[in-house]
Every structure is written in structure tokens, then in C-alpha cells.
Structure 1
Amino acid sequence: MSVVEGKAMTAIADVAASRTFDGVDLHALAAAIQTPFYAYSANAIRQRIAGLQTAFDGLDHRICYAVKANSNIAILQLMAHQGIGADIVSVGELQRSLAAGIPAERIVFSGVGKTREEIGKALAVGVWRFNVESADELALLEQVAKEQGACARAAVRINPDVDAQTHAKISTGKAENKFGVSIDEARRWFVQSSGSAHLRLDGLHAHIGSQILSLEPFRRALRRVEDFRRELVEAGHEIRSVDIGGGLGVSYRAGLDRPVDVNEYAALVREIFASFNGTLVLEPGRYLVGEAGILLTRAIRVKSAGEREFLVVDAAMNDLLRPSLYEAWHDIVPLHDRREPARYDVVGPVCETGDTFARDRAMTRCRAGDLLMIGGAGAYGSSMASTYNSRPLTAEVLLDDGRYAVIRRRQSFAEMVAGEQLPQAWNET
């Protein structure tokens, strides 16, 4: 599939016009599977991967998909088949990645709260690198590696204090954020860790945030990383890898969001790290899967309340949390032929005012039973879902050239309560 074809396939207007996604008829799909459910285009994901690999061709680089964006094992297997590694933040994500066929030597372990148990399990399977975020973690990593008779490979996550110009809740590179350490502290780590038999600190890591739509924050952050790398090399420290994180944004608002061109991004990276001979690590998540997914939902009813009209759909905030958590925009498109204009607050059935996907959104008039598509739902949709209000986790479906496969069935009530039980015996402490 060409880049042009891939872009056209995921454009929400084209999907709405054809009522097909990756060659699959959406009305037929919704007749076979109970709404709401997620549908992902395998070809759209492959196209994004290919575009990123082409942009960085010729550089010593490694792409490690940010598993938190969409952790379905089938999606991870697709990544594995394309030679993509994993960026994980928990043992659960480690287990998912290994089960999907991503080898441990292509996995980097990030996150501010790694426990002794998690570090031990990751060391035991041989993950490639740990991105370390505190002095306490660094000491624990060395200690656990010593207990296992191993040598842990690590990168220090520095906080470059750069505003990513994104939503406050997904900004991670400012001094006030919990992630990473200052360059001054990182400098001390390299001095203190020199000569350790169980810790090899020879990498740098920086990730300033998510959904970034401008090159400038990347430019400022990466220049600080490269300046620090050169300083370390001049001081006699070997730097074998530089992890530049992720953060590339996607288009949530058709015609308004202008994502960074991946080739321009790659050119910037080439320019800044022109003198670096080690491995560059990229951690894309949303960029690879965000626009490759949609959430299909049906209208339950239209409710009039004075001058407002509420379009109540069967999807809810427990299925797609981003609008409630981040005030995030997702395009919402009715998949019918009526053209009468209307304006709706699009809401779900959950008993929270925050269970709102859109306010005063212009669209065509809807009726009960109409099928609607919520775009840009491939990242941080199913992976952030819950069973709030005792609503089952939705199904997920992978589409590929006119065929589909259910990659997570809709959760049953029995599965939802499987871990719960009435008190059988009481214990005293």
C-alpha cells in the first residue's frame, strides 16, 4: 500500500463517504457485532510504520512502540511482525509484549514507579534497557542486578524543562512534571556509576509529552539532550543510545489539526544528532495507532431539553475516556444518507455529567438506531477503558483488506465479576 493510499484510507471523510474501513463494510460489521466496539485498520498501522521506517532509513535506529497507547495482543503481534519493539511501563505490558512475539532485546522499560519485583522480572527475561527516572530507582536497579548476577543496561531520563505546547495532562517534559531528572542530577549519576559491575549507564532518554503538533518543542528538547551527550562524551563517558521518546501528534479534528510531517521530524533528528554514532530510539504510540482506529456506536435516542438536544449513544466514557479526561475532540460522523442539519450534545448512558463526547456539535440529524463513527480512537481508547457503571468492556476488531477478526470479544457479566466473591472466611491481623 502506498503512503497516499494509507492516508486516504484513514481520512474520516473518506471512511464516512464509503462506509467502509480497510475494505470492510461498517454497516455489515455493526450488524454482526454488538455496538459499541472498536475497529482497527491493520493496513493503516502498517503504513504508519513503513513511513516512519523510511524517514529514518540509513540511521542506526530502533522503534519501540509505546504499549500503553493500545495494548491488545493482536496489535502488539502486528508490531512484532513489522520488526517493532516495545516501550513498556509495567510487568503486565512486558508479559503482553513477550506473548505477542516481541523479543525482550527489543523492549525498553520506562516509568517512574518500577518496583523491585518488576525490575527483577524484567532483568530475568533480558529487556534491552531501563529508562531510569530517580536516584532511588537507579540504586535499586543496581542492587537487583547484583542479586541476579546480571548487568543492567540503563539510560537516564532527563527532564529538559521544555513546554511541549500540548494538554497539561499529557505534558511530561517540564520541570514541574513528575518525569525524569534534571541535567545536573543526571551528570552526578554518570560520575557515581562509573566502574559499576552490575550497572551500565550509557544512554540518555527524553520524552516531553504527547500529541505535539509543532517541531519547535522537539527542536529545543533534543538540542538540550545532544548538548548534554557531547558534554558527557568529552568527560569520558560512553553513550551508546539516545532515546528521543515519542510525542508525534495525529489529526483528531479533520482540517484543523496539522500533525508534524514525519520526514521533517526525521530531518531535524538527523541534523541535531549528526555526530552521534550510537543507536537512536523512538517511542511512538499514538502516532502509529491513533488514526487507525474508530469506535462504532449506535444512537439510543434524541432527547430535547429546552434549546439543547442530546444525542444519547450506546458508547460511554468508560469506553472512551479521552473527551471526559482531557476535553479531547474526536470527530463524530453519522453513517447515514440524511442531510438535514442538527446540533447535538453527544452523550453516553453513564451517570456522570462528564459522560459527554461533544457539546453543541454540528452534524446531520439522527434517529434511534443510527450508526455513528467516532474517529481517532485507536490510541488511549480501549487501553484506558473501565467497567464503570458495571458496563462490560467492549469488543475490539481488526480489519485487514476486506476481512475482519474479533481480537477481543465483548466482556460477559461472568467475566466482569470473576474476581469478586462474597466473604467466605474472616481473618484477623
Structure 2
Amino acid sequence: MHHFNYRDGSLFAEDVDLRQIAAEVGTPVYVYSSATIERHYRLFAAAVKANAPAGTAHVFYALKANGNLGVLKTLAALGAGVDTVSEGEVRKALAAGFPPEKIVFSGVGKSESELRFAVGAGIYQVNIETEGELDLLSRVAASLGKRQEAVFRVNPDIGAGGHAKITTGSSENKFGVSFEEVGRLYARAANMEGVRIMGLALHIGSQIRETDSFEAAYVKMATLVGTLRAEGHRVERLDLGGGLGIPYEIPQDFNNRDFDYGPDLIEAYAAMVGRVTKGLDVELGFEPGRLIVGNAGILLTRVLYLNPRPTKQFLVVDAAMNDLMRPAMYEAYHEIWPVSEPAADASRIAYDVVGPVCESGDTFTTGRVLPEQKPDDLIAFMTAGAYGASMASTYNQRLLVPEVLVKGGQFAVTRPRQSYEELLGTDRAPPWLA
């Protein structure tokens, strides 16, 4: 479930009227619900831990989904770990209060300086994706007088996901070492200084709404664990990645307070994991991102203009593709809710909802039937908490969108709207043009 509901004719985030946020912070603006983040983390963590031996399941939130400091501090306070994919994300995790021993460093192209920082910080685990990275990690850690714990990310040649661009487990994708190579690399690593190989990892894709693909990949990994152990290798950890998806389509009554976002799928996934890994005697790792924060956030925007045409009606809003990239990049669907609760008999009109950016691709949806809108009305793009603000840019020299975190009846700006002075101040003229 989420905590965005109509009350007294207006859409609320928990106990805060979104009209108040729009008035005080302006639009466009991302708004996140603490209660939703907390609920989804607890649901997932409880399910996977109930299906694993005591103390052997670790949940590492995928920071790339949403790196807002308020969101991160909320999760750190719940005891979550964090999965990072850059030095900047490692630094952000540390700043948010995640202890180093709860930080995983993933990613296919880690640089020497990034590895040096992560190893120096004392992080829990590096997920190695290439033989070259193994060699580099060994040299870097040895030079620091450390032996970094790591796992090999294996490509199981089973890809899945809601879009080709978020499928990561196929042999056609860039991620991980192949099944054919992992045995040789495991043997090499056993004699290398600076590295202590603890096990295996995988990630097959994102926005997966069934368990069959996961199960097929996990069965292959369980078999690999047995093969490596038979060869005399230590395999103590199995990082199963993330990717469990969420529903983006919400019942169209704009009012369904009882609609929930997938506890049945979470329970089915956790039960499957327990069944497949039973008797393996490994510590399990999980890296959910979208599942935790996706439904916890909305993008609040204001209608600027109506632009009627003979065959369609354009609804121009002040949010743009630089604020929410998913529709332009992934053809992604987001429900759109009016902030003012529509009457049951309100006129419905099919709109192409578009933003101000100078591209036809700056289109959020086409032919979407909504209650009739007029300039200055507020609408909310739902299920925008994952890969929304984290992918935002200043394209067209537009200011970075601000972010707000709600907790009960309180809200706080956790990333202020950028000023034009800050935007222009990042540029430097070359000396011959100064």
C-alpha cells in the first residue's frame, strides 16, 4: 500500500495536504512518504529473513533507485544495509549513517580511485564483475595493507525485466562473469593477496513481477555453489540481487485506500528463495530498490496550459522529461491523479500530458483519460519514488527538481530547488574567452 489518499477534497501525503507543499516549495517537486518506505522495507526484510536460517539474510537497499538523504537516513535507522555502484554512492551512504560493514559496492566499471576509497572505508563487500577488476582490487587492497572481502557477480544467462534496458542477466548484457569462467577465477583468487573471495552474486534485471525467472537463475546458482565447494572452494555468501517489481497501474477510482502493492508477490518470492536455498548453508544477500521506494514517491506538478488540436488535447505541465525521465527513456507508465479530488460525475477528457522541454519526446503519456483539467490545477505522477529524482538533470538549463520527505503531519525539504546562480556557477569560461 501507499500513504497518498484523498481527504477533505484534496490529495494528502500521510497527514500533509499536497496543496500546502506546492504553495510553500513550488512545483515541480518530488514528495516521499516515510510511512510507505518503512512499511515496504519491513515487509520485504521480514519475509526473506523468515525463509532463511537466523541471521543469514541481509537486505542492502539499492541506493541508485533513490539517493535522497532523508530516504537513506530513514532506511539506515531501520537497520538496512545499502548497495552502491559508485564512489559517490559509497560516500552518500556513509554520510547517511550506514556503517561501512553494511555497504556493498557493485558495478561493472569500478575505477582504481573508487576501489581505493571503498576498500579504505572498510566496506562489507565488493561484487567483482571482471577478471581485470579482480586483479585491480587485489593490487589496491594489498597496497592499503588490507584483504578485501568480495564475491564474483555471475551472469546466469537468464535475463528478465520490464524493459530491454533494465534486463541485466542475459549473456548479451554487460554484467558479470560467465558461468564458464567463474571456476577458474575462483581458483586464481584463492592465491591472490588483497582479496578474500566469500561467494557469489547475481542480478538478472529490474521490474520483474513473477518468480519463475528468479527461480531459474537461483537454481543455477545453487548448483554452482555445490560445484565450487566440490572443487574445494569456500562459498559462504550468495547475493541474490534485487529486481522484484511493483505495479505502476493503480485502480482508476483515485480513492482506493485498500489497494496494496504486492505483499503476496513478496511472500511468494521469499518462499521460493527459502525452497531453492534450503540446506546450502550460505548467508543470503538481497538488493531491493524500486520495491522499497517506488510507490513511496510522487512527482507533484502544476498545469500550465491547455493546447487543443482537432484530433487531441495537449495538457502542458511544469514538470518535464529532465525531472522524470522514465516515460521518455523506458516508455514507462505512471498513473496521474488530480490533487483536487474529482467528483464522481466530473467530465473526462483524453489528454496528451507533456512538459516544457524542447523535444517531442518530452511526453509523459498520450490519450490518457483524466478528469477535466484547467490551468493552475495540480496533478501528481504516482509511483515516482524510484529512478525519478535520481535520474533528473538540468537539460534545457532547467533547475534540478527539489525533494520533500513527509513524516506524519510534518514535511521537510530534503533537497532544495537549485537556484540559477548555483546552476550557472558550475560553469567556467576558458581563459581565452574570459
From the superposition, tell whether residues 201 and 289 of structure 1 become closer, same or farther in structure 2 (CA, over 3 Å): same
Higher mean alpha-carbon deviation, 310-319 vs 57-66, is at 57-66
Aligned to 2:236: 240
Residues 4-33 of structure 1: CA distance to partner in whole angstroms, max 9, x if unpaired? xxx2525xx768975111111111221212
Match of residue 364 from structure 1: 371
* Cα gap change, 1:99 to 1:8, in 2 (>3 Å): closer
Instruction: Compute the displacement of 1:112 (Å).
Output: 0.6
Q: Does 1:61 align with 2:57?
A: yes
Does the CA contact (< 8 Å) of 1:41 and 1:399 recur in 2? yes
1:170 aligns with 2:162: no
What CA RMSD, in Å, does the superposition of the two structures yield over aligned residues? Answer: 1.7
- The alpha carbon displacement at 1:201 in A equals 1.3
**Separation in 1 of the partners of 2:386 and 2:326?**
10
Is 1:130 paired with 2:119? no
Aligned match of 1:327: 331
2:314 corresponds in structure 1 to: 310
Q: CA deviation at 1:240?
A: 1.4
CA offsets per residue over residues 277-305 of structure 1, 9 Å max, x none?
A: 22111000100000000000000011012
Asked if 1:203 corresponds to 2:195, the answer is: no
**Hey, what does 1:3 align to over in structure 2?**
none
Question: Aligned partners of 2:40 and 2:9: how far apart in 1?
Answer: 22
Distance in 2 (alpha carbons) for counterparts of 1:15 and 1:94: 40
Match of 1:216 among 205, 212, 215: 212
Q: For 1:387 and 1:115, locate their aligned partners in 2 and report how far apart those are by CA, in whole Å.
A: 26
Classify the secondary structure of the residue corresponding to 1:56: helix
TM-fit CA distance, 1:51: 0.5
**1:419 alignment counterpart:** 426
Q: TM-score, normalised by structure 1?
A: 0.94
Contiguous gaps of at least 5 residues in structure 1: 1-6
Q: Distance in 2 between matches of 1:275 and 1:420?
A: 57
Residue identity opposite 1:289 in structure 2: V
Q: Distance in 1 between matches of 2:8 and 2:217?
A: 38
SS of alignment partner, residue 425 of structure 2: coil
Distance 1:15 1:51, change over 3 A: farther
| Alignment CA distance shift 1:406-1:8 (3 Å) | closer
Post-superposition CA distance 1:252-301 (Å, at most 9, x none) = 11149985611111111111111122211100010000000000000001
Does structure 2 retain, via aligned residues, the 8 Å contact 1:40–1:378? yes
**Structure 2 vs 1, CA of residues 281 and 186 (structure 1 numbering), >3 Å: closer, same or farther?**
same
TM-score normalised by structure 2 residue count:
0.93
Map of 2:25 onto structure 1: 33
Of stretches 249-258 and 271-280 in structure 1, the one that deviates more from structure 2 is: 249-258
Partner SS, residue 190 of structure 1:
helix
CA deviations 1:350-375 (Å, max 9, x no partner) are: 00110000010011110000000100
Partner secondary structure for residue 177 of structure 2:
coil
1:385 aligns with 2:392: yes
Q: Does 1:24 align with 2:16?
A: yes
- The Cα shift of 1:236 comes to 1.1
Count, aligned residues:
418
Match of 2:255 in 1: none
Q: Deviations over 1:211-259 (max 9, x none)?
A: 0011111110111111101111121111111100000101111149985
Q: Is the 8 A contact 1:165 1:217 kept in 2?
A: no
Q: Work out whether 1:9 is the aligned partner of 2:16.
A: no
Q: Which whole-Å deviations, capped at 9, do the CAs of 1:296-327 have from their partners, x for residues lacking one?
A: 00000110122111000000000000000000
